[in-house]
Amino acid sequence: MRVLALILILASSASASASPSSSRLNEPSWRKRFEAITTTALKGEAEVVFLGDSITRGWKDTLAWKKYFARYHSLNAGISSDRAENLLWRIQNGNLGNLKPRVAILLIGANNLSISTPKEVSATINAIINTIHTHSPATNILLLGVLPIGKEQTDPRRKKIIAVNQQLELLGSLPRVYYRDFGEYFLEKDGTISKEVMYNDYIHLTELGYETWAKPLAKLIEDKLYKSP
């Protein structure tokens, strides 16, 4: 059953290409950030690249980023409010530059929850994976499950996240793709989220939230992905 589901996902995204409408170039701040990422990517220096939305972007000013990821000349390629299709457009239009990273950390989909089905999110993310591997076949991709949202376990977005992550887990069967869900690190025993790890919107992470996440993430990168041939 899992194999059939994966085949259907692959078929739906085999020829996927981001439409021009997936660009946000009409937004000055987005264009500036897109161009800055492309400029850095053209240097081709990053050994680890982080791809995503504001959750990824949020790493940039943390002590955890400097402590755990600076050693890899990591590139933060997150842009706030991006959906999966926006990220697909970016990497098809310059954000991979001359990069041949050993590891790509991919976290995207939270901003799709209200407008896309889980299968649509998965199909777009599979197209992102294909684009990365067409550009750099030897890159190991760490595909992350969408992190929990909402203070209470009963928040309706939680069920949607579970459904999306079930689809993403199937993509972990692809060559050089590794799926991992770090959601448990942000949940209390009763399923709630503490303000110590997320801000009052219960979406974006605090400094402690990033530190909590960084330790197991860095260990996974170092032990299983960075040194992998």
The answer to whether residue 22 is catalytic is no
List of E strands, the chain: 48-52, 75-78, 103-107, 140-144, 177-180
The Cα-based distances of 55 to 132, 166, 217, 218 in angstroms read: 20, 20, 14, 16
The H or E element containing residue 216 is helix 207-220
Tokens linked to 60: 């940039």
The Cα-based distances of 26 to 21, 51, 78, 109, 173 in angstroms read: 10, 21, 18, 22, 37
The answer to whether residue 73 is catalytic is no
Q: Which residues pair with 103 in a beta bridge?
A: 48, 140
Q: What is the pTM of this model?
A: 0.91
The answer to whether residue 155 is catalytic is no
DSSP-based three-state secondary structure for 50: strand
CATH superfamily of 19-180+187-226: SGNH hydrolase (3.40.50.1110)
State which residues of the chain have pLDDT below 50. Answer: 1-15
Catalytic one among 23, 29, 54, 114? 54
pLDDT at 15: 44
Tokens linked to 44: 């081709």
Catalytic one among 15, 21, 190, 201? 201
